């Protein structure tokens, strides 16, 4: 039972990180219908910045977290402006290839700057063990879950309650109608990229702290899984991404603990395929009929 | 056979044979060393992979991001077969073993493609892309865990059967087969689905059947490419067939032009040879490569050739025409 509780908390830990990253994918997909492959690299760079600020500059915790988030938010906006905006009216496939290109570019840029060898991520949160009902929990785990939940709630409030948030929802619902309503679509898309990238950077930092490593291809696997999480929950739907993230994290942890470590990823993919085959719009998605 | 067709056949045959002779002389005179021959063989394999992917991505117009998985199945099944065949002690010529192994690899992969395609081709666009990524990753994880083929350490002890001589002609045959498929009744039905699925269904084309057919044929040839790869490297390991490798093949197809087979061939040559040529700048090579990809997509999103095919006959004709025009203009001035 204790083992189960322990795994449950581990699952929440991984799940909250996936959820954070998945939000970025889902928001971007919702607004410009593009799988932003570069999102994984945004989180990787976020982790590298945090690493630099924590080791070379000895900055306090809040700066180690917030400054990379701001930098990566700007980087996300820049990527959209340079690479995706010229292709907004091009076929979807070209935009997708561009996203792959940007992703490869950023990966190799990191390889060039930071070299291939993994760096050891310092423990940026104070480390203590907290005993909770017979289960030992690492404080880093608690901070990870807490921080992710905090930012997710913040985002959710922002999207639902503020004027800009309403603009984001309006543009993802119907871009043309949003233009007619006087919404600045370009600015709204930039805003979406900024928010998604900031959360992605935070996810990257938390991921690298959890796995104590930073390396140039850090973003690939969690990026892919977070993307699966976004699809699982229903792509374009923010609460869906959160739900999907937690499900993927939980499934992965439980498979690793009780079935097999090497098959864990395969089971994640099998669930994804089953969901897509039986409910292609994801768990929270609504079915829309295709019109002739 | 009409005159133009015969002319095209003759021109193409001559160019294929003379290209082979050029390579033959270069290899015989040792101008091309082992390293360059290796690049040429890999290029041939990538041509097969890109063309086979083009059947689904270009003809059918669906996003297939799991081609590496099919290549892995072809590589593993053919290698397993050829090792078993060698063990029986039956002495067969290398080329026969290679062709048998390719057929086994192709059929096994085609079967898997059929099994995967039947349920998944109900999905479209990005969703299909994601499912193909999922299947390809599952295949890779399967081979990591599957003990009979060596697991994560890879399958060793494959006899190296591929040489430039045989791979060149095998590639030519596969190119002809895929071209013929594209122009056949089935190929045209697949293209019509890409153009307008609802209209082609209304015209009496069983769309699901042809979608699955395209997927199966594509994976069949991908399996053959994988078989060649296994018998060239003499070693297969699961870590080769990652998601990034699928993406690499997809990029070749898109850069060449979706639906253009000659485009795939040209792009496969450029994207295999160019990175090797840039080895001197190893650190910047992938940076340049990815940047080129983004720039290409921004300025020429339809790829190099778009949907049109490069035709040697037409190319020669246009050269002749230009000469004729020049002559007539020149003649005009002289008068």
pLDDT tens digits, one per residue of A201-224: 999 999 998 888 899 888 888 888
Residue B6 has pLDDT above 90, yes or no: no
Q: Two tokens at B270?
A: 């450029």
Q: What is the pLDDT of residues A161-190, one digit of tens each?
A: 999 999 988 988 888 899 898 899 899 999
For chain A, domain boundaries: 13-223
* Helix (H) or strand (E) run with residue A124 in it: none
Inform me whether the C-beta atom of residue B199 falls under 8 Å from chain A C-beta atoms: no
CA distance B72 to B223: 8
The DSSP letter of residue A255 is: I
* Model confidence band, residue A292 (pLDDT cutoffs 50, 70, 90): very low
Of B63, B254, B286, nearest to A104 by CB-CB distance is B286
CA distance A218 to chain B (A): 14
Helix (H) / strand (E) element for B331: namely: helix B312-334
Q: Residue A136: which H helix or E strand, with range?
A: strand A135-138
Instruction: Decide if A109 and B63 are in contact by the 8 Å CB cutoff.
Output: no
The whole-chain average pLDDT of chain A stands at 86
Question: If pLDDT is split at 50, 70 and 90, which confidence band does A1 have?
Answer: low
| DSSP symbol at B40 | H
Q: Under a CB-based contact definition with an 8 Å cutoff, are residues A78 and A241 in contact? A: no
Residues B12-33, mean pLDDT to the nearest whole number: 86
| Closest-CA distance of chain A to residue B65, Å | 11
Comparing A264 with B143, the larger pLDDT belongs to B143
In the predicted model, is pLDDT for residue B325 greater than 90? no
% of chain B beyond a pLDDT of 90:
38
Given an 8 Å threshold on Cβ–Cβ distance, is B290 in contact with A280? no
| Nearest-10 crossing angle of helices B164-183, B3-28 | 160
Does an H or E element contain B171, and which? Answer: helix B164-183
**Mean pLDDT, residues B285-291 taken together:** 76
Least confident of A65-74, A120-129, B13-22: A120-129
Q: Which of these ranges, A220-224, B84-88, B126-130, B205-209, has the smallest mean pLDDT?
A: B126-130
Contact: A109, B287; criterion CB under 8 Å: yes
In degrees, rounded to 5, the angle at the alpha carbon of residue A187 between the alpha carbons of residues A186 and A192 is: 100
- Residue to mutate among B60, B245, B290, with most A CBs inside 10 A, is B290
- B222 CA to chain A: closest CA distance, Å? 21
- Verify whether the Cβ–Cβ distance B294 to A105 is below 8 Å: yes
> Is the ipTM above a cut-off of 0.90?
no
Biggest CA-to-CA distance, chain A: 60
Asked if residue A289 has pLDDT above 60, the reply is: no
Query: Which uninterrupted H or E stretch holds A73?
Result: helix A61-79
CA distances from A22 to A26, A42, A182, A200, A235 (A): 6, 13, 29, 8, 9
pLDDT, average across residues A124-145 = 80
């Amino acid at each position: 039972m204790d083992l189960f509780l322990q795994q449950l908390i581990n699952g929440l830990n991984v799940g909250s990180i996936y959820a954070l990253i998945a939000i970025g994918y889902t928001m971007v997909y919702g607004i410009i219908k593009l799988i932003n492959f570069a999102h994984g690299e945004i989180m990787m760079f976020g982790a590298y910045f945090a690493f630099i600020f924590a080791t070379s500059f000895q900055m306090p915790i809040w700066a180690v977290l917030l400054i990379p988030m701001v930098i990566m938010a700007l980087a996300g906006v820049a990527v959209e402006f340079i690479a995706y905006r010229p292709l907004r009216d091009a076929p979807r496939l070209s935009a997708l290839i561009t996203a792959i290109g940007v992703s490869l570019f950023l990966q190799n840029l990191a390889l060039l700057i930071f070299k291939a060898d993994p760096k050891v991520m310092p423990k940026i949160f104070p480390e203590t063990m907290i005993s909770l009902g017979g289960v030992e929990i690492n404080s880093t785990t608690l901070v990870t879950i807490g921080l992710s939940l905090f930012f997710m709630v913040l985002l959710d409030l922002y999207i639902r309650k503020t004027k800009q948030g309403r603009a984001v929802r309006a543009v993802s619902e119907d871009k043309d109608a949003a233009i007619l309503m006087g919404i600045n679509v370009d600015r709204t898309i930039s805003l979406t990229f900024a928010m998604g990238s900031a959360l992605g950077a935070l996810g990257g930092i938390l991921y690298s702290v959890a796995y104590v490593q930073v390396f140039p291809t850090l973003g690939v696997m969690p990026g892919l899984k977070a993307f699966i999480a976004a699809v699982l929950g229903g792509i374009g739907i923010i609460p869906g991404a959160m739900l999907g993230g937690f499900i993927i994290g939980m499934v992965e942890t439980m498979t690793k603990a009780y079935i097999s470590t090497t098959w864990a990823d395969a089971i994640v993919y099998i669930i994804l395929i089953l969901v897509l085959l039986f409910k292609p719009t994801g768990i929270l998605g609504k079915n829309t009929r295709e019109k002739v | 056979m009409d005159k133009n067709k015969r002319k095209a056949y003759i021109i193409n045959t001559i160019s294929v044979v003379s290209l082979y002779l050029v390579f033959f002389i270069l290899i015989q005179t040792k101008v091309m060393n082992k390293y360059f021959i290796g690049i040429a063989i890999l290029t041939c394999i990538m041509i097969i992979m890109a063309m086979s992917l083009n059947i689904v991505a270009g003809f059918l117009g669906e996003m297939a991001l799991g081609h590496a998985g099919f290549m892995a199945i072809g590589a593993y099944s053919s290698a397993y077969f050829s090792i078993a065949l060698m063990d029986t002690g039956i002495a067969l010529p290398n080329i026969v073993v290679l062709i048998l192994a390719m057929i086994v690899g192709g059929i096994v992969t085609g079967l898997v493609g059929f099994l995967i395609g039947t349920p998944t081709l109900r999905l479209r666009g990005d969703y299909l892309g994601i499912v193909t990524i999922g299947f390809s990753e599952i295949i890779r994880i399967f081979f990591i865990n599957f003990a009979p083929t060596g697991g994560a350490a890879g399958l060793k002890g494959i006899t190296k059967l591929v040489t430039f001589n045989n791979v060149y002609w095998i590639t030519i045959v596969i190119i002809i087969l895929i071209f013929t498929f594209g122009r056949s009744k089935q190929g045209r039905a697949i293209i019509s689905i890409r153009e307008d699925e609802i209209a082609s269904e209304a015209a009496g084309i069983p769309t699901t059947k042809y979608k699955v057919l395209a997927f199966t044929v594509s994976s069949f040839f991908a399996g053959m490419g994988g078989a060649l790869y296994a018998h060239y490297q003499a070693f297969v390991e699961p870590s080769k067939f990652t998601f990034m490798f699928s993406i690499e093949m997809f990029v070749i197809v898109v850069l060449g032009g979706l639906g253009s087979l000659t485009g795939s061939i040209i792009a496969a040559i450029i994207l295999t040879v160019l990175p090797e040529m840039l080895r001197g700048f190893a650190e910047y090579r992938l940076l340049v490569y990815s940047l080129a990809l983004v720039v290409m997509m921004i300025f020429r999103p339809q790829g190099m050739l778009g949907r049109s095919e490069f035709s040697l006959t037409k190319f020669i004709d246009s050269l002749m025409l230009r000469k004729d025009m020049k002559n007539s203009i020149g003649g005009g001035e002289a008068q």
